[in-house]
Amino acid sequence: MTIAIRHILLRANAVFLLAASAGGFASDVRGIFFGLGPVARVVAEAPYAGIGFIEAHGLAFILGILMWRAQPARGWHLAAVAIHVLLGTANLVFWQLFIAADMLLVGYVTTAMHGLFVVLQMSAAISARMPGQSCGSRRSDFV
């Protein structure tokens, strides 16, 4: 995978994180503070659970900004893998939330995208040469 393609992949990753987290954050605010939308059904029973929603989507937005600015180096691709493994796994572990909020389509799309980015970013990380590494050398640096 070329450097240019890996850079585009990081940017696409960023766009997904920024869009999904902004939508999630907006839905969180509507549900937590105004009792509107699908999140309202979930937090009505446990209003203080809203902190986790706000933190998760806020941090995903910050990570999206970092991915936008990231260089196509192995370490950044591995960081992206870790981000999507965490977020995708959280979606699966707490799948009942999507059911309770009647947001299954959102769950399907975001979880599938997390899985897709795990595969793509891992492929990019594997194809990225480590700094100072020629085709035949065996250096074991992280980035």
pLDDT at 129 over 80: no
Distance from C-alpha of 27 to C-alpha of 36, rounded to nearest angstrom = 8
User: Do residues 28 and 54 lie in contact, with contact meaning Cβ atoms separated by under 8 Å?
Assistant: yes
pLDDT at 12 over 50: yes
Mean pLDDT for the chain overall: 92
pLDDT score of 134: 54
Q: At what angle do helices 74-93 and 50-69 cross, to 10 degrees?
A: 160
pLDDT at 62 over 90: yes
Predicted TM-score (pTM) of this structure = 0.87
User: Do residues 50 and 60 lie in contact, with contact meaning Cβ atoms separated by under 8 Å?
Assistant: no
User: Average pLDDT in the 117-125 region?
Assistant: 98
Domain boundaries, the chain: 3-127
